[in-house]
Structure 1
Amino acid sequence: MDANAPQNPNDDASAHPSTTRPGRWSLRRRVALGVGVATVAIIAWFGYSAWDVQHNLTNARDNAELAKKSLLTGDSEAAQRASADAEASAVDGQQSLHSAPWRVVAAIPGVGAPFKSAQEMSDVVVGLTRDVLTPAVETGSALSPKDLVADGGKVQLRPLRDAAPQLEQISLSARSLADQAHQVSEGGYLGLVNDVRTELQSQTDDVAKLLENTATGAKIVPAMLGADGPRTYFMAFQTNAEARGTGGLVGGYGVIRAEGGEVEVDTLGKNSEVSYDHEPLDLGPEYKALYGKYDPSTDIRNSNFSSHFPYAAQIWQSMWKQESGETVDGAIATDPVALSYVLDAVGPITMPDGEKVTADNVVELTMSTAYTRFIDDETNGKAGGNEARKNYLQTIASKVVDKMTGDIKSPQKLLDAVGKAASERRIAVWSAHPDEQAIIAGTPLGFTIPEDPAPYAGVVVNNNAGNKLDYYLTREIDYTAETCTGETRTSTVTVRLTNHTPDRDFPRYVAGTYNGRPVPSGTNLAMVSLLATNGATLTKATLDGKQTFAVNGSELGHPVFIVPTTVPKGKTVELRYELTEPATAGKARVPVQPLVDEPKVTVNVPNCGN
């Protein structure tokens, strides 16, 4: 064939496309290659950008923590450096997340969900560092525990009072940012982003609560510690081995005197030294109907049956006025578990016989060992008996108080211990000054029953035998309600009580009963009260599946249902309240009565406001 002859268009040119159409296919390849390179570049950029964001936000978190630690140790310069570094890192992370590529992707429906969530979270973090951390460090430099508490335990009140307005503003900013964190969009298909979102919401809530408590303290502590004149407070030592509404039976007491930030405790006494010959205090018809038969305002042992601490505090104020002629400015209550936290901060105490009382043994010593150690001192459980044991417990209380009000090596550890006890409601405070009490009532220290309509299940155990077996009692509480489909819904509150009393030769006043009931030694007899949601009605109460009788009453707007409950040694009983309650808005609350155990609490109650 002639090489120069024209080719037949029907020849099999398709067998060699690369040679017959080189321009067309090379262009496709170049385009594909270009798109691939661009895609890889974009992915690489986003990968680097994501790493950069994580790096900056991690730096912000770590420096924020360093600023806090430096502040608490009194190193204000280090705190300010760390605060500035935290803010700079947070801003860098925010700028990356709000760059043009991130904004474009964040705007894509569905695909952009985690990007948008990350942007919103970075805004919260910047706000926290700029509007909360930085001013908090500036203000807190004057409030370092190291400088705030002088030698001898005197509290410097002027810096605290001066800082109150600024702390209030910082607290408001923290709460606003916590609310903003709860408005952050969900991360969609990226579970990791959702996990970070949940963590941020929890952290901002914690910061807001901490600053709210700090601002509250700065507002009222100076006056309460005698900045404007002497103050006195009745202090009750509660023993959780015999349960009462606010924790435990009042076994002893003291009077706190404060002036100019200096605090001392005197007039330590035993409950057996408080007369029963008092004029009763009128706390209203509801209170009288529920608790009147126990003579709470004339018998200090029964003064705190109600879980509303202001009732007990007012009774103690009335009693002390009739005992001494002195009107106290308020009342405080604490328990051996709180003392264990304090001893962990200030160190052990030494008893006159050389015995060491430490954070590890004070709870068992005061609520278990002491009752068997002084078994020969028993006087049939009558008032005024067991003097050796009561003297022993009073000595422990006195020495712990001396340690707290003396030279303190680590004020921060002591403040942390007190804060932990307060968060568990193991320290309760009431002020006779209405402006102060209005603030305290809204904090954990107030130990109050709320009067709003939000879902509520307050389970209260009161010892019904006069024994000391609640040291061995453990609790489980479950509050479950149906969805918000109507004006009312069905709910259940389930309480499981387990009696762990060991086989031991206990005195009768520890493991027996005082009212002659024919029950075996070691049997726990409890009056279990449920303070339910406002407007709730009881459909049925059961004990171990069998319907039982409940005493009805009301307290501060809450219906109260009381069931006498017997818990044999080594057994668990289940008390179940079946209710119809209003489908009201608000987060469900299950306050924990401060006994010895840490109860397991489960809440499955939809918020009808969402």
Structure 2
Amino acid sequence: MPAVEPATATRRRGRLVWLIVGVVLVAVVGAVVWVGVRGWLAKGELEAAAVTAEKLQADIVAGDTAAAADGADKLVDHTHEAAALTGDPIWALAEIVPVVGPNLSAVRVLSTQLDAAASGAIRPLTGLAQSVFAESFRPVDGRIDVEPLVAARPAAHSARTVLTDAAAAVGAIDDDGLLGPVADAKTSLATALGQAAGLSATLDDALVIAPVMLGADGPRNYLVLFQNNAELRTAGGIPGAFALVHAEDGLLQLVRQASTADFSPNGPALPAPAAMAAVFGDGMSSHIQDVTMTPDFTVSADLASAMWERKFGGTVDGVIAVDPVALSYLLGATGPVTLADGSELTTENAVTSLLVDVYTRFPDGAAQDAFFAESAAASFKAITGGAADPKALVSALARAGDENRVALWSNDESVQSVLAGTTLAGLDAAQKELGPEAYGVYLNDATGAKMDPYLDVAMAVGAVPRDDGRSDVTVTVTLTSTAAADAATSYPPVVAGTGFYGVAPGQIATNVTVFAPAGAFDAGVERDGERVEYAPAVVDDRAVSSVGVTLAPGEKAELVFHYTSAEKGQSEPLLLHTPLMKNITVGSL
């Protein structure tokens, strides 16, 4: 018979069990209170950080670098405290608890990555504002101090890495089980970090190429193409005026100017990619006015620089294309420039003066070329002379770049490799950057005159899902002639045309070319609801469709280009297009 345990021993064991349970309960309650209190405190720090970040952004935009630096320090104080409050061992232990654990883990990651971004990127980048974008960056007698740009690169590159890593870490948080406020915080921070990473990448890239392009590593010669949107080309307009700019140790000098009259089309044709030549013709290999027919700016730049070198000798190290609309933005930063006859070129009148009025003021072609050359030289002097507000100038350049009105090419591989991944590399690069659903609509004048100020253009794109998962994509281009009924006789011949290219004076002839994304299937073209003949082609696995349209004054044509998407699920097509004299909004179908 087993021995009976004494009652006192049983009672002692019961008290011990309750003591252990009590200790555990106290520990659990304490941990819950600890985590709860620290979570509440962390919430307060993150909310304070949000307010501080908003003011910091306002200070940076206002150019108050001292206040921005102070704000960056305060932001780091708040984010660092939030990270510390969510990073202790008890918090980590609580992360294993079902339901609440994933939320605690998400809050810790959000706090940690926000702190990393604030201390490793935002504060250093705010410091850069004092050296890179301060008044000392303003050109003095045509020279830009490149030293601040060189010195800023390490901090910018480090910030880019930090923000990219932080965005990836926040994006990797598992959404399953997250409470509404935590899920919302994750989405907001992921978006903000993604945008910040993109901007820091742009800054980092700019600090790679700017010193080199400004001649910090040796002299550079740049051929500038001034495009004329009154006679459309894919990249904007015919290159009608040219300038050679010499850059050396930050000093920019305009050393030579030329016009199309200086280039003979009778020389031997230059080599061009066969696929592009098949679409746009051989003219771009022999006529400098046609080098921007192709959306591939590397081709345009190669042809233009070869033509310049053949005519004037020397070496072209890079090519820059810009149009009068971009120039008008830059004049908004410099203020008006005064020309020899006392007239002014301003942000308000530059486009009309250079694309319309010039042909009535100066009927003679040589006088027109002289006006273009003087306008270019005066604008260059204003931009590099130090009168422009640096922040306004950067904003103007950014706007022109966003609208694809500025394109750059460099024969320096370190520079070109960076440019190739940006919209500054031209429309072809910009279309590829937009992704696998981007379509490009490119317009080339076939009138041989300056009638395009009277061409009204509207565009739209849309997709309808199919039963097989792909989409039927339509790109609509509507062209309308707003020319006067008597344009043939009331407009100067240089504007109305002379019929030399087979187009009656006063009419507008346009070649419309659409580049589909890689792999999309060409499904034909309609004009005003009827199927029409067109010129199909393939360039780098991209279906290309071209149609010519000739409009009499007041006439309108609607072109609809049909495609089938390359992949299933592609139902959100995008559209970019030739920069026009007036900005247009692409519609949705």
TM-score norm. by structure 1 comes to: 0.78
Amino acid at match of 2:279: L
Question: What is residue 284 of structure 1 aligned with on the other side?
Answer: 273
Where does residue 601 of structure 1 map in the other structure? 586
**CA separation in 2, counterparts of 1:547 and 1:338?**
38
Question: Which of 354, 358, 367 is the aligned partner of 1:388?
Answer: 367
Which region of structure 1 is more displaced relative to structure 2, 164-173 or 139-148? 139-148
Cα distance between partner residues in 2 of 1:603 and 1:245: 22
The equivalent of 1:367 in structure 2 is 355
Q: How does 1:137-216 map to 2 (within 5 A)?
A: 137-179=126-168, 203-216=192-205
Flag the 1:527–1:97 CA change in 2: closer, same or farther, 3 A.
farther
Where do residues 399-548 of structure 1 align in structure 2 (5 Å cutoff)?
Answer: 399-447=378-426, 449-450=428-429, 454-472=436-454, 473-480=456-463, 482=465, 486=469, 489-501=471-483, 505-512=490-497, 514-515=499-500, 517=502, 521=506, 523-548=507-532
Going from structure 1 to structure 2, the CA distance change for 1:268 and 1:435 (only over 3 Å counts) comes to same
How far is 1:160 from its partner? 1.8
* Residues 526, 84 of structure 1: alpha-carbon distance in 2 compared, 3 angstrom cutoff: same
Match of 1:259 in 2: 248
Per-residue CA deviations over 1:533-589 (Å, capped at 9, x if unaligned) read 222232221012110111012334322110112345445532111112320799855
- Cα offset for 1:404? 1.2
CA distance in 2, matches of 1:96, 1:139: 30
* Separation in structure 2 between the aligned mates of residue 593 and residue 191 of structure 1, nearest angstrom: 44
CA distance in 2, matches of 1:410, 1:547: 53
CA distance in 2, matches of 1:517, 1:193: 67
The structural deviation recorded for 1:492 is: 2.2
For residue 296 of structure 2, the aligned residue among 289, 308, 311 is: 308
Deviations, residues 1-59 of structure 1 (Å, cap 9, x unaligned): xxxxxxxxxxxxxxxxxxxxxxxxxxxxxxxxxxxxxxxxxxxx99x989947851432
- The CA RMSD over aligned residues, in Å, is 3.9
2:6 match = none
Q: 1:363 to 1:537 in 2, by over 3 A?
A: same
Could you tell me which amino acid in structure 2 is paired with residue 475 of structure 1? A
SS of the residue 1:303 aligns to: helix
Deviations 1:179-198 (A, max 9, x none): 45656777999999988877
Specify the alignment match of 2:4 in structure 1. none
Structure 1 gap segments, 5+ residues each: 1-44, 378-384, 605-610
Give the conservation status (yes or no) of the 8 Å contact 1:480–1:493.
no
Matched to 2:56, the amino acid is A
Alpha-carbon distance in 1 for matches of 2:314, 2:220:
11
Is the Cα contact below 8 Å between 2:42 and 2:81 reproduced in 1?
no
What CA distance in whole angstroms lies between the structure 1 residues aligned with 2:178 and 2:496?
Answer: 58
Partner of 1:349: 337
Q: 1:582 aligns with which of 534, 543, 566?
A: 566
Match of residue 31 from structure 1: none
Distance in 2 between the 1:399 and 1:485 partners? 59
Cα distance in 2 between the residues matched to 1:600 and 1:419 = 18
Residues 445 and 511 of structure 2 are in contact (CA less than 8 Å); yes or no, is this contact kept in structure 1?
Answer: yes
Q: How does 1:30-109 map to 2 (within 5 A)?
A: 52=44, 55-66=47-58, 68-69=60-61, 72=63, 75=65, 77-91=66-80
Amino acid corresponding to residue 224 of structure 1 in structure 2:
M
For residues 495-547 of structure 1, give each alpha carbon's deviation from its aligned partner in whole angstroms, at most 9, with x where no partner exists: 233444456732233234634656573x4321111111222232221012110
Equivalent of 1:238, from 223, 227, 230?
Answer: 227
Q: 420-429 or 127-136, which moves further after superposition?
A: 127-136
Deviation digits for residues 435-468 of structure 1 (CA, Å, limit 9, x no counterpart): 3212111112111525698233111111121232
Q: 1:192 to 1:252 in 2, by over 3 A?
A: farther
SS in 2 for 1:174: helix
Count of aligned positions: 546
Q: Secondary structure at the match of 1:304?
A: helix
Structure 2 length normalisation: TM-score? 0.81
- Aligned-pair CA distance for 1:339: 0.8
Q: CA deviation at 1:387?
A: 2.2
Change in 2 beyond 3 A, CA 1:125/1:598: farther
| Residues 1:187 and 1:556: Cα distance change in structure 2 (over 3 Å) | same
Q: Which residue of 2 aligns with 1:591?
A: 576
Q: In the alignment, is residue 297 of structure 1 matched against residue 285 of structure 2?
A: yes
Q: Secondary structure at the match of 2:565?
A: strand
For the residues of structure 2 that align with 1:115 and 1:360, how far apart are their CA atoms?
56
- CA–CA distance in structure 2, aligned partners of residues 197 and 237 of structure 1: 46
Q: Which runs of 5+ in 2 are unaligned?
A: 1-36
Please name the residue that 1:24 is paired with.
none
CA separation of 1:252 and 1:224: change in aligned 2, threshold 3 A: same
Match of 1:134 in 2: 123
Q: Do the aligned partners of residues 460 and 205 (structure 1) sit closer, same or farther apart at CA in structure 2, a change above 3 Å counting?
A: farther
Residues 140 and 384 of structure 2 are in contact (CA less than 8 Å); yes or no, is this contact kept in structure 1?
no
CA offsets per residue over residues 319-353 of structure 1, 9 Å max, x none?
Answer: 01110111211100101111111111111101112
How much does 1:92 deviate?
5.7
Give SS of 2:320's match: strand
